[in-house]
Structure 1
């Protein structure tokens, strides 16, 4: 089972690993595009106003531009510890046992606008680049990633659970992947998407899938696993699951 997570805009700034080594990252098929994007991001950071415009940043966020300038020299840490925020707080990677962490490292991967896909243990620096960013002089990120990342994901040979946000799914859709939508049910029975709850519950789903000893191989079996964990999950017969949160 491969569980695809969305990245986060916020990232832990620390690390004690050696500088970024693109050749050491998993999925070497992605190396040429990674090299192209890393080079472009570093060059762009030399012009802070242009970098702000391309990345949608304000002058108060120039620390993000500085991180991009140091992409090739700053310390790294495992990708699953680099990303932060609501989803990653709920995942709680640092609270796992050694055996659970080993399973998580095998199963979890993060979609990345800069690096395409990083496995949990891949050593990466802090950076700033979003799926919707447009880098001067380059095609769109979707045009760059889809031809190389799409085939990699399609050929994984295992059940793919795609928890990425829509913008990152668009970079490289995975045919047949199981998706999970999170809806909050109101007292009147109507349902709505709540961003914070969506991220938190996807983080909890990711934790469950990262640590379970089960190996679901279909949407039906995945739904059964989630329901055994006490979640209200609906399945319409396709590859989309809906996690319904009860009224508060």
Structure 2
């Protein structure tokens, strides 16, 4: 199984790891494309703070993010699985997984990024700010920039595996599975169920959605299950106690009751 995750805007602080080495990152086919984004982003943030904030969609209070991007090449790094914080990653709790589940996470999880393309959770990278929806002056939209290199690198990574796509919209545009991979790809939509005046209502709530997806991934990693089709994944999730609906194999609806 290959699980595609979005990154988080929140990043861990206080790392003292070594400086970035692009050659150490997984999916080395992405190195040239990573170098292009890294170079333009760092130069932009070092040269023009105001313009950089505008392009990155940051407020004046987030000026520190611009300064951080300017020194990406020399900043200390942290494994991606420790770097990303936020609701999904808090619920996933990579740092508290047991040894076997942690090894499975290293093989199964792929985090998408506007700057790096895609990362394994063990890849050491510095804290940064650059979403998948950013349009850089020279490279243009990052989603478009990544389509070709990811299109070449990911089919091999996904070969023969069920692909569980949990990416948000900004990152889904960076790579679309080829027809053969698409047949083994499914997404999960989390629906929050609550009863109002005796009537059940369902809705997608961002915080609830992210937390549940994090818990689902953790449960899958700890279960040791290796589903190879969407139908098998449905069975595994039901065995894990989730209420799964939907006849469309390309999208599973997980219904969680509000507590």
User: Is the TM value for this pair above 0.5?
Assistant: yes
Q: Confirm whether residue 215 of structure 1 aligns to residue 226 of structure 2.
A: yes
Q: Map 1:43-82; keep pairs closer than 5 Å.
A: 43-46=43-46, 47-82=48-83
In the alignment, is the contact (CA less than 8 A) between 1:6 and 1:168 conserved in 2? yes
In the alignment, is the contact (CA less than 8 A) between 1:108 and 1:210 conserved in 2? no
**Structure-2-length-normalised TM-score:** 0.92
Aligned partner of residue 109 in structure 1, secondary structure: strand
Q: Give the Cα–Cα distance (whole angstroms) in 1 for the partners of residues 218 and 187 of structure 2.
A: 16
In the alignment, is the contact (CA less than 8 A) between 1:15 and 1:77 conserved in 2? yes
* Runs of at least 5 residues in structure 2 that lack an aligned partner in the other structure: none
Counterpart in the other structure of 2:216:
205
In the alignment, is the contact (CA less than 8 A) between 2:16 and 2:77 conserved in 1? yes
Counterpart in the other structure of 1:29:
29
Q: Give the Cα–Cα distance (whole angstroms) in 2 for the partners of residues 35 and 105 of structure 1.
A: 24
Q: Give the Cα–Cα distance (whole angstroms) in 2 for the partners of residues 201 and 123 of structure 1.
A: 26
* Runs of at least 5 residues in structure 1 that lack an aligned partner in the other structure: none
Pairwise CA distance, 1:216:
0.5
Pairwise CA distance, 1:94:
1.2
In the alignment, is the contact (CA less than 8 A) between 2:26 and 2:119 conserved in 1? yes
CA RMSD, aligned part only?
Answer: 1.3
In the alignment, is the contact (CA less than 8 A) between 2:81 and 2:121 conserved in 1? yes
Q: Map 1:94-133; keep pairs closer than 5 Å.
A: 94-133=95-134
In the alignment, is the contact (CA less than 8 A) between 1:14 and 1:75 conserved in 2? no
Aligned partner of residue 189 in structure 1, secondary structure: strand
Q: Give the Cα–Cα distance (whole angstroms) in 1 for the partners of residues 176 and 214 of structure 2.
A: 20
Counterpart in the other structure of 2:162:
159
In the alignment, is the contact (CA less than 8 A) between 2:194 and 2:257 conserved in 1? yes
Aligned partner of residue 132 in structure 1, secondary structure: coil
Q: Confirm whether residue 189 of structure 1 aligns to residue 194 of structure 2.
A: no
Counterpart in the other structure of 1:179:
187
In the alignment, is the contact (CA less than 8 A) between 1:20 and 1:76 conserved in 2? yes
Of the structure 1 ranges 237-246 and 223-232, higher mean CA displacement relative to structure 2 is found in: 237-246
In the alignment, is the contact (CA less than 8 A) between 2:34 and 2:117 conserved in 1? yes
Pairwise CA distance, 1:136:
1.3
Pairwise CA distance, 1:209:
2.2
Q: Map 1:222-233; keep pairs closer than 5 Å.
A: 222-233=233-244
Pairwise CA distance, 1:97:
1.4
In the alignment, is the contact (CA less than 8 A) between 1:42 and 1:71 conserved in 2? yes
